[in-house]
Structure 1
Amino acid sequence: MNAWAADIPTDVAASVPQARLVGSTRLKVWGFDIYDAQLWTAPGFQPARYADTALALELTYLRDFTRADIARRSLDEMRRSAPISDAQAKSWQQKLEAAFPDVQKNDRILGIYLPQTRTARFLTNGQPTGEVSDGDFARLFFGIWLSPQTSEPAMRRALLAGNP
């Protein structure tokens, strides 16, 4: 067993074999705390090829948001990395709203990316809330935090800080 296994959430350990915590950070916007983020990755993770390796990203919200707000903002951020057609955006907006509930302070959303099935799986406070089996969606969704085109480069650096 890995020395850090005791600190890994059960859902992460079950989905990302040999996961390790790579980094964590807090997102602040205009002085407001938005969420705390933690990134776990499987061995062999390379930031430039983040969509090639299993990973898990957990957000602990520090304020309340509606599912529609989370989905809309996620889609806006996904569009920073690649063009998304209006039809695709509408489909993904529906999938995001289905996967995410309204959140309140201290709610946790865990996103797990499984490259072998090209699936993004979501849990809220430990309960499964959705799954999207679409490699493009997963790559762009996790790219919100991990892509060089992120709107928050300092957050990306902090999440990747422990990567060898």
Structure 2
Amino acid sequence: MRRLLKSLLLALVVGVGTGAAQAAPAHIDAHLPQARLAGAGAFTWFTLKIYDAELWVGEKGYQAGLPFALELRYARKLEGKKIAEASVDQMKKLGAGTDAQRAAWLREMASLFPNVKEGERITGVNLPGEGARFYLDGKVLGTVRDPAFARAFFAIWLDPATTARGLRTALLKDAAPK
């Protein structure tokens, strides 16, 4: 009984399962033809839901050297500057980049990431060997042309040492090649 309750609680917090197959949004499909949803989950801070996340992969699944997309749908209003600062904090916890690199990445993210309202989506697309492109509700925000940045940024959610291990598990649920 205890195990069942724990599983149900985890399902509520993380959002296990990807549900029925769904078509990728056009801005994701442009980078990942035949994209599929690998996994989805929610990120909460204490009891506050911050965002829902989705990982989209191509037919070869999730691999760091391949394009993939991570979409965050915000559950509350947040300042773009705070999103950038939180991202750098997580990169630092993972040991990604030098102090100088993280300072440069913070400036780039702060200039790209807008303030978001509940329901808005920021999508990051991993562009191997190039960097990462970002979208707000399907419209291009810009590109950070630095492969080291892209690795550090997506590691926030996908690295085994992430602070959000339950979310990582949910995102990678169906990420193996098909």
Unaligned runs of 5+ in 2: 1-19
**Match of 1:43?**
59
Distance 2:175 2:143 in 1: 27
- Deviation of 1:163 after TM superposition, in Å, equals 2.2
**Match of 2:12?**
none
Letter in 2 for 1:61: Y
Identity of aligned residues (%): 38
Contact 1:98 1:129 in 2 (8 A): no
Query: Are 2:160 and 1:148 equivalent residues in the alignment?
Result: yes
Q: What is the TM-score normalised by the length of structure 2?
A: 0.83
- Deviation of 1:11 after TM superposition, in Å, equals 0.6
Letter in 1 for 2:41: T
Unaligned runs of 5+ in 1: none
Distance 1:57 1:83 in 2: 19
- Deviation of 1:7 after TM superposition, in Å, equals 2.0
Distance 1:88 1:13 in 2: 30
What is the DSSP-based 3-state SS (H/G/I as helix, E as strand, rest coil) of the residue aligned with 1:103? coil
**Match of 1:126?**
138
Contact 1:98 1:130 in 2 (8 A): no
Runs of 4+ in 1 over 6 A off after TM superposition: none
**Match of 2:26?**
10
Q: What is the TM-score normalised by the length of structure 1?
A: 0.90
Contact 1:25 1:158 in 2 (8 A): yes
Contact 2:96 2:152 in 1 (8 A): no
Letter in 1 for 2:162: T
The correspondence for 1:23, drawn from 33, 39, 49, is 39
- Deviation of 1:129 after TM superposition, in Å, equals 0.8
Letter in 2 for 1:53: L
